[in-house]
Amino acid sequence: MAGHRLGRITEDIKRELTAIFRKLKDPRVQGLISIVRVEVSGDLSYCTVYISAMEGMERAKDAVAGLKSASGFIRHELGSRLPLRKVPELSFRATDSIEYSANISRIIDELKDEKKGERHGQP
């Protein structure tokens, strides 16, 4: 049962962080950034948030810098939105998973186009 509760709290934190990020005025956080994954420790004292940006890893690192500077505000907002006894300490990490998945998707599309060309008699 504890695993179910932790999973639910993790999803709640992810949902609320997404809403809080939209309210932030820092230009480093504006744009196409997204929360890829949220990991919460078993005792709910630490939370690692993985951030990715469509523009690439450097953009994600800039966003993480902006989020770190606003972490006090973000944590306060999270505490007011969720009924948690203790709000976890937030840690932000940049990841290139959106850029990576877009690249994989592009490669798959290219392979499909090549396969179509072979089917229609084109080399």
Q: Is residue 104 part of a domain?
A: no
Domain limits at 62?
2-97
Q: What is the pLDDT of residues 95-108, one digit of tens each?
A: 887 667 777 888 88
CATH number of the domain that 61 lies in? 3.30.300.20
pLDDT digits (tens, 9 = 90+) for 51-72: 998 888 899 999 999 999 999 9
75 occurs within a structural domain? yes
Indicate whether 31 belongs to any domain.
yes
Q: Does 56 fall in a domain?
A: yes
3-class secondary-structure state, position 9: helix
In a domain, 9, yes or no: yes
The number of domains in the chain is 1
* pTM above threshold 0.85: no
Q: Is 92 exposed, middle or buried (0-12, 13-18, 19+ CB in 10 A)?
A: buried
